[in-house]
Amino acid sequence: MGLANNRAEKTRRPRAVDRDRGLRLDLVIARIIHVLAIVHWIGGVGFVTTILIPAVRRTEPPERRLQTFLQFEKRFAPQARASVALAGLSGLYLTGGVDAWSRFASPSFWWMHAMVGVWLVFAIMLFALEPFVLHRRLEHASAAGASNAVFDRMERFHRVMLGLSLATILGAVGGSHGLFA
Average pLDDT over residues 32-46: 98
**Contact predicate 113/63, CB 8 Å:** no
pLDDT by residue (tens digit) across 67-100?
A: 999 999 889 999 999 999 999 999 999 999 999 9
Chain segment 119-172, per-residue pLDDT in tens? 999 999 999 999 999 888 888 888 888 889 999 999 999 999 999 999 999 999
CA 56 to each of CA 33, 60, 71, 167: distance values in angstroms, whole numbers, following the listed order: 32, 6, 11, 26
Residue 146's pLDDT is: 85
